[in-house]
Every structure is written in structure tokens, then in C-alpha cells.
């Protein structure tokens, strides 16, 4: 009997990636306060990729404590521009501000995964992607945000690369799965090594 596999997230994008890969799993939201974990880390000057990994671990361990026999996948993503770390926009004005700051610059997405069982971390990984946004006028940013609406508040960068957000970019380095927040290739390799998927 194949052990139970749980994704510690209800993100539709992460669920879609795992479903498309043919994985059999359940999705369970982690009961953690992400901002309470992030705030002291940011005050201490923790690197954005370290913050993503700590959050991924926390999600995996919290759900794993409730389902100790299952293998639990926790994941998180942070976005950084130099030393500046971004969070999901609070409203339309905040989303426009995000894009104004990012326009014409290269930012980094840090996507972390951790696998836990019985509260113990078995494996962890961080992947990076570098995205260069083209120069954008304030008028274009307003029109773009008006078109995408509330979807702009659903991601840390105020864009969805799998949708109209692709129009904002001039260059991308990194794989699609890392950008969507779940690096599938290293995850699938680890699941094969754990005997959770057919190798």
C-alpha cells in the first residue's frame, strides 16, 4: 500500500501542478501564521531564500504533526529585489506600486519545498528564478491592473506568469515550476527516491 501523500497547501496552482504530474495526494492547509514567522526573520536580516525554506518547513511540520503517518510536502515562495522583500499586495493601489518598483528591473523568486513525516524534515530544497520586467509606464500599469483585477492580489509580485502577466516581462531565467512556486523536477526525484511514485 502506497503511503499517504499530503500537500500542505490549498493553492490552486500547486494543486494543479501535482495533479498534472499524475500524483495522488490530499491537500490540507497548514495552520500557521506566516507573518508571525516572517516578521522576526526579516528584522534579523534573514535572506529571502532562507525565509521561504523556514516557512516551507513550518507548513510541512504543522500538517505532519496532525497526520504523522503521511509524507507531507510544505512549500513557500518569497520574492526579492536586492534587499527588498515583497509580500502579496493588500489592494489595487499596492499592486500598482509593486509593478512600478519592479518595472525595468530583475527580481528573484525563491521557491522552497520540504517533506516531513511524523514531524521530522526528511528533505528540503530551494530553487531560484530571475525575472526581468520590461519598462512599464504608469498608465500601462493602471490599465493592466484594471484588466486583471483581484488576481493581482493573489500573488506576491502582483502578476500571474501563466496569464496576462507574461506581457510584463522581457527575459526570464529559471523553470516554470519554480516560478509557480513548486519546483516539480527535484520534488518528483525525491518522491521517487522515497518510493512514493513509480521510478
Instruction: Summarize pLDDT for 159-177 with one digit per residue, the tens.
Output: 988 889 999 999 999 998 9
How sure is the predictor about 140, in pLDDT bands with cuts at 50, 70 and 90?
Answer: very high
CA distance 4 to 115: 13
Q: How many percent of the chain have pLDDT more than 70?
A: 99
Residue where the block lists cell 531560484: 128
CA distance 102 to 94: 12
Residue 95 has pLDDT above 90, yes or no: yes
> In DSSP terms, which residues pair with 128 in a beta bridge?
110
The model's pLDDT over 56-92, given as tens digits with 9 standing for 90+, comes to 999 999 999 999 999 999 999 999 998 888 888 999 9
Average of per-residue pLDDT across 136-156: 92
Q: How many CA atoms lie within 13 A of 69 on its CB side?
A: 4
Mean pLDDT score across all residues of the chain: 93
The per-residue pLDDT for 84 is: 86
Cell numbers linked to 53:
525554506
Nearest to 176 by CA among 127, 113, 141, 134: 127
Sorted by where each begins, the domain ranges of the chain are 5-193
Query: Among 41-45, 48-52, 93-97, 168-172, whose mean pLDDT is lowest?
Result: 41-45
Cell numbers linked to 50:
532562507
The per-residue pLDDT for 87 is: 83
Q: DSSP class of residue 68?
A: T
Residue 1 has pLDDT above 80, yes or no: no
pTM for this one? 0.89
**Region 5-193: CATH code:** 3.90.950.10
The per-residue pLDDT for 43 is: 87
How sure is the predictor about 123, in pLDDT bands with cuts at 50, 70 and 90?
Answer: very high
**Residues known to be catalytic:** 76
Amino acid at each position: 500500500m502506497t503511503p499517504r501523500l499530503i500537500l500542505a497547501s490549498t493553492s490552486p496552482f500547486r494543486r494543479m501542478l501535482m495533479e498534472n504530474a499524475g500524483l495522488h495526494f490530499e491537500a490540507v492547509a497548514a495552520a500557521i501564521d506566516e507573518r508571525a514567522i516572517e516578521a522576526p526573520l526579516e528584522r534579523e536580516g534573514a535572506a529571502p531564500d532562507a525565509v521561504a525554506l523556514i516557512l516551507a518547513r513550518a507548513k510541512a511540520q504543522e500538517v505532519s504533526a496532525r497526520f504523522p503517518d503521511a509524507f507531507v510536502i510544505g512549500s513557500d515562495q518569497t520574492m526579492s529585489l536586492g534587499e527588498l522583500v515583497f509580500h502579496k499586495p493588500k489592494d489595487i493601489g499596492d499592486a500598482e506600486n509593486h509593478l512600478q518598483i519592479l518595472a525595468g528591473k530583475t527580481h528573484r523568486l525563491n521557491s522552497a519545498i520540504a517533506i516531513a513525516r511524523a514531524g521530522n524534515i526528511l528533505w528540503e530544497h530551494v530553487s531560484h528564478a530571475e525575472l526581468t520586467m520590461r519598462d512599464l509606464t504608469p498608465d500601462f500599469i493602471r490599465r493592466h491592473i484594471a484588466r486583471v483585477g483581484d488576481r493581482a492580489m493573489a500573488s506576491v509580485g502582483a502578476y500571474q506568469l501563466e496569464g496576462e502577466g507574461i506581457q510584463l516581462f522581457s527575459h526570464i531565467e529559471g523553470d516554470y515550476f519554480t516560478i509557480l512556486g513548486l519546483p516539480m523536477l527535484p520534488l518528483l526525484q525525491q518522491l521517487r527516491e522515497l518510493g512514493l511514485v513509480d521510478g
